[in-house]
Structure 1
């Protein structure tokens, strides 16, 4: 499971997803949730550390979902790194650097695994446990453990820390990711009921938030735990959303492809 994207601070209460939020953040969230990352990033002037990092995060997420725009994401991230001065700011930028390197590696654009590990290690040294950014960092360290190091036990521990942090911070979008990835590990271990519960929670949160670009992957994951005809219904709904968003995320196409003629389906 790739890990998709996660600009967690833009999905927390007070940052675009609830009534009464900053109108700018509401506009950014609506565009981002519909796979319009470039349009969302264009609304943000990178003249403060927070705005520059948010803009970079959006473009990094676009690269993960579309497998394009890597140079623009790099440029935006370098701007954010240049503006970062406090430990929190430098740690958040390092976390994003690690995530971009992870995305390039897991999508086979270029092997940047060492860079990803080093950057997330720097972030861990700068962001103390209990800090607001720590939950996202723990989640991303889980992604590396699961998909690059191939260490499911370490991944599960990191996802659980991230899940606890997201719960404490009332960060619903990050919770949708931790539920999803913990469920993926449960499914790998044959714990079907636990996996179904986690995938159901992830889908519920994404639908409640209106996180359209993340809903198709959630539907496909849940389908993997269901029997027919429910599994086919979920996959067909995922295909509809996938087409609606212009074939994004690109890596979902392989999972949505219909079985080849004559292929066994039992």
Structure 2
């Protein structure tokens, strides 16, 4: 699921959903959409919220599965079926990468099905490209294929006016650049990702963006960024759950490991 924040002319329902989602209140946001579950678009949006909750918290898998089955049942054309398949692939990816259950084959199959159903110019295509990049990077361990997919997603997100997806593509391209030792490129990408998230008010994604940028900065700036990330992490109840390890500087992490 991507999204673009809210503006004065937005649908009040979407404004309310965005405000809850951006603060990590996925269950409450999904509840607002429950009365509209006969709408393919809103049923899919509800499923996407609950899948995102799984990825950030490691909880709520059964609710996400139920919502996704509803979205799949209401889909009426290839574009809607393709979008639901993309979400199915993302849920399987999340379960695999968080070591809940190995569903890597299901993730690949679902995203492949989405690719066959979504038209090349479909608004859902950039998100599909991004998710195929995640699978390539984190499940297939193929950074080259991941980079190509992220670039396609980045171009598509820009063309379709999806700034939140752009914040994710900036972040993941920057992570690959950092992996290759391209510090300036990585710093630029992480900075852009953080800027977009702050502009949109995507609070739940701001702490990870701060922590990622800290990895490209010298002290004392790195420490300041991690401290701000930790403040937001605690404010949001320790979500995303996988961020805690990234908020510990390498030297401190080594000391903590020795203490255990």
The answer to whether TM tops 0.5 is yes
Aligned to 2:15: 26
TM-score (norm 2): 0.95
Output the CA distance in 1 between the equivalents of 2:193 and 2:248: 23
Distance of 2:223 and 2:159 partners within structure 1: 36
The whole-number CA distance in structure 2 between the counterparts of 1:232 and 1:260 is 14
CA distance in 2, matches of 1:256, 1:234: 9
What do the CA deviations read for 1:56-111 (whole angstroms, capped 9, x no partner)? Answer: 00000000000000000000000000111200000000000000000000000000
CA–CA distance in structure 2, aligned partners of residues 85 and 261 of structure 1:
53
Q: Distance in 2 between matches of 1:257 and 1:67?
A: 21
Uncovered stretches (5+) of structure 2, i.e. residues with no partner: none
One of 32, 36, 43 as aligned partner of 1:43: 32
Tell me what 2:166 maps to.
Answer: 175
Q: Is residue 63 from structure 1 mapped to residue 71 from structure 2 by the alignment?
A: no
Question: For each residue in 1:171-194, what CA deviation from the matched residue of structure 2 results, as whole angstroms up to 9, or x when unmatched?
Answer: 100000000000000000000000
**Structure 1: how far apart are the matches of 2:69 and 2:86?**
13
The 5-angstrom pairing of residues 71-150 of structure 1 reads: 71-150=62-141
> 2:43, 2:168 → 1: CA distance?
24
Distance 1:166 1:261 in 2: 39
Distance 1:190 1:85, change over 3 A: same
Return the offset for 1:47.
1.5
Aligned residues: CA RMSD: 1.3
CA separation of 1:262/1:246 partners in 2, compared to 1, >3 Å: closer, same or farther?
Answer: closer
Question: How big is the shift at 1:257?
Answer: 3.8
- CA deviations over 1:152-174 (Å, ceiling 9, x no partner): 01000000000000000111000
- The answer for the alignment partner of 1:228 in structure 2 is 219
1:209-257 Cα offsets, whole Å, 9 max, x none, are 0000000000000000000000000000000000000000000012124
Q: CA deviation at 1:112?
A: 0.0
Alpha-carbon distance in structure 1 between the residues aligned to 2:68 and 2:254: 45
1:203 matches 2:194? yes
Shift of 1:33: 0.2
TM-score, normalising length: structure 1: 0.93
Name the residue aligned to 1:4: none
**SS of alignment partner, residue 76 of structure 2:** coil
* Offset, 1:263: 6.8
Which of the pair is proportionally richer in helix?
A: 2
User: Residues of 2 paired with 1:92 and 1:164: CA distance?
Assistant: 19
Matches of 1:70 and 1:128 in 2, distance apart?
29
Equivalent residue number for residue 255 of structure 1: 246
